[in-house]
Structure 1
Amino acid sequence: MRVLIAATPGIGHVFPTVPLAWALRLAGHEVLVATGGDALAVKDAGLAVYDVCPGTDAVKLAMETFGAHPELAAEWGTTDRSDFEANQRFYGRLMSHQTDLVDRYVRVAEDWRPDLVVHSALSAPGLIAAARVGVPAVEHGYGVFRSRQYTERVRHWNAELFDRYGVDLPERREAIDVAPLSLVDGVASGWSMRYLPYNGGCVLPDWLGDDTGRPRIAVTLGTTAPAFDGLGQLDRVLELAPDVDAEFVLALGDVDTGKLGPLADNVRLVDWVPMNLLLRSSAGLIHHGGSGTTLAALDAGVPQILMPDEGDRHVNAAAVADRGAGLSVDSSRLAKESIDALLHDGALRAAAGEVQAEMRSMPAPSTLVPRLEELAGE
């Protein structure tokens, strides 16, 4: 069969689909990924990719839309970004002005004629593309947030888009859930599947194996947060770092770090490195609460400090904290005691190890291939 993976243009949405894409390819099926921006890096996983926003990315598209529609920019400035539904309603209005992007998702579906569309959670373009060609749609989760419950509201939040293409929600819909059940009240939102971190390939940097005689703390803000909000979340981390007996590794990717100023001797600023590899040599992780980063730390059995600022990042942080595998902290109120707990609290480390074992017992991506074949009518 042919499977179209319609992923939101962002690494955090497309990279979690790579293990399933591999499983499908190994079973003999064709896979095409439709995405854009920095998510085009998924081509390095050996997958064919269709660019839905050539020459730009999701952040630039948003800024261009704000420039053309100042009322949207003003609304974004007043939106409560900790309110998930308020965010999603806003994104629906934003995307209604990005019809070229949605057209490309629809066009590739109509041209390629897939038997099945796997789409990012809460993705109106993926649902619309599946409906246009009359095939089942499968939502691919990327975190602990219960997104499936919002599918009907995605139709409402993006009503202008669905009406523009003359479709409703696809009749046959399923979901793949990668959340460890102990973080979500023990109930799967669809078909459970083990989360296997994919962060791209690399030539291992020499410093990764260095033993500085100190525990290592990885620090990241993901790929999207710095583009919208800068690096201000790191201010308190960098202020506290000199007083902590640890090496802090700032893995910030391709962002302007010039405003960070002088760094303490125990702070190492590095180029991009796959998070799953960095976590192998890390005692803990401090981050923004992004889903991929959260699950990568859990898969590594590493305790974490999450500093959420909006939307589902608050859900991730609360779930990890409630499970006892990490701490949820306002970035401006981060205290040395929290970082000390990251390094020395045995209960945090034990809980992280329990979740790691749980995740490794979840069904492998290959076990879902027969279900997808049956759904597609193969």
Structure 2
Amino acid sequence: MKALFIPGNSPYPIFSHAPLATAVRNAGHQVLMGGIEWVLPNIASVGLPPVKISPVSMEEVGAFMGAMPEDPLDQLKAVGRVYAEIALDSLERLLDLADHWRPDLVVGGGMFYTAPLLAHQLSIPSVRLEWDRIDARMYDPGAESVLAPLLAELGLDRVPEPDLWLDVCPPSLRPADPVPARTMRWIPGNPQRPLEPWMYTKGDRPRVYITAGTRLFSGDALRDMARSIAGLGVEVVVGAPENVAAELRDQLPDVRIGWVPLDVLAPTCDVIMHHGGGGTDMTALNAGVPQLVAHPEYPTEATRRITEFGAALLVDSGGQEAVTEACRKLLDDSSYRERARSLAREFTELPPPAEIVADLEQLVAARA
């Protein structure tokens, strides 16, 4: 079997899809993974063969993010449009690839419209593998107008549904009306670096990890937030890109700042504080660590469900005092950790990627 994985337009989907892609290859099948120019090094870093499907660069992605509308609904539409544009741009390259290396199966990320459209044109099965707990269908309205001409040309009134939908959400956090899907255990992954003992060792103080998001957690705001959280008597670790970390280390000599592999660090943390990113959320869930979602870039149903479950707190207004007080509550009230650990146990009960390979093989056999 030849399986083509097309996860998405940023590094995180690559690491989210890598466990299943590796399981398919370890079962003796051929695997290629496609991505835009920006993510090709990430694909290579997980030991999979990268194929360029679009010349979109990191600079172009950065320019798009910098021009993102302020209104949350407009943001969703803008993201949907750009994913649809990349789908159109990449189809010709992928059809050329299929002339020489014809896949038997395409596995695509949640809003990566390329995968089902390519599978339709090649008359092969498609699989949708979600990256995280966020329902990517909220981006579809922005993509519809961009995809409409191609859909009409193909005689379709909408993007084809997948032959198999893989859901990585733990059962207790699924919506009341989930799509029919096969469940799969989510495995954490991210770029690695040489480890230092403190990264995998639990210290004598509670540890709070703060991610460096694109809005709140950067520059002066990040410095002030780290100082405020450190005032709780905890060890603070800040995950930040080097250009941000370098300017903060002198100002925060008692705070560890820089890139840390979160899959390694997470089990040593008592609170993980972030801005609503799906990868951070899933890594915290997998490790059984309570979350503090502070001023998310956009509200999601996924955030609401975990706060209602009692494994996280959301602070969407107020300043540092509100965030610090929420962090204190998570540290002092053991029920949040108990609820987070119960979700981690649910992760371990889901079928691992290796068990899903047989489902993919059956799809290909049935189509043949």
- Smaller-chain TM-score range? 0.7 to 0.9
Shift of 1:157: 4.5
Q: Structure 1's 255 and 119: CA in aligned 2 closer, same or farther, altered over 3 A?
A: farther
Contact 1:242 1:265 in 2 (8 A): no
**Root-mean-square deviation (CA), in Å?**
3.1
Shift of 1:150: 6.2
Shift of 1:213: 3.2
- Whole-angstrom distance in 1 between the partners of 2:316 and 2:162: 41
Instruction: Kindly tell me the number of residue pairs found equivalent between the two proteins.
Output: 358
* 1:81-96 equivalences in 2 (<5 Å): 81=72, 83=73, 86-95=74-83
Partner of 1:253: 241
- Whole-angstrom distance in 1 between the partners of 2:287 and 2:65: 39
Match of 1:176 among 158, 166, 170: 166
Contact 1:5 1:32 in 2 (8 A): yes
Contact 1:136 1:170 in 2 (8 A): no
Shift of 1:297: 0.4
Contact 1:250 1:268 in 2 (8 A): yes
TM-score of the pair, normalised by structure 2:
0.85
- Whole-angstrom distance in 2 between the partners of 1:11 and 1:64: 16
Match of 1:291 among 278, 287, 304: 278
Contact 1:294 1:316 in 2 (8 A): no
Contact 1:140 1:176 in 2 (8 A): yes
- Whole-angstrom distance in 2 between the partners of 1:241 and 1:287: 13
Shift of 1:110: 4.8
Contact 2:201 2:268 in 1 (8 A): no
- Whole-angstrom distance in 2 between the partners of 1:14 and 1:249: 25
Q: Deviations over 1:318-357 (max 9, x none)?
A: 1211111111112753332211122221010000010011
Q: Is 1:124 matched with 2:113?
A: yes
Matched residue type, 2:146: N
Q: Structure 1's 152 and 245: CA in aligned 2 closer, same or farther, altered over 3 A?
A: closer
Contact 1:306 1:328 in 2 (8 A): yes
Partner of 2:300: 314
- Whole-angstrom distance in 1 between the partners of 2:110 and 2:323: 34
Q: Aligned with 1:218: secondary structure?
A: strand
TM-score of the pair, normalised by structure 1:
0.82
- Whole-angstrom distance in 2 between the partners of 1:241 and 1:155: 40
Q: Is 1:323 matched with 2:309?
A: yes
Partner of 1:238: 226
Gaps of 5+ in 2: none
Q: Is 1:41 matched with 2:29?
A: no
Q: Structure 1's 335 and 62: CA in aligned 2 closer, same or farther, altered over 3 A?
A: closer
Matched residue type, 2:75: N
Matched residue type, 1:298: L
Q: Deviations over 1:154-202 (max 9, x none)?
A: 8734324634974643475321000011011466531100111112443
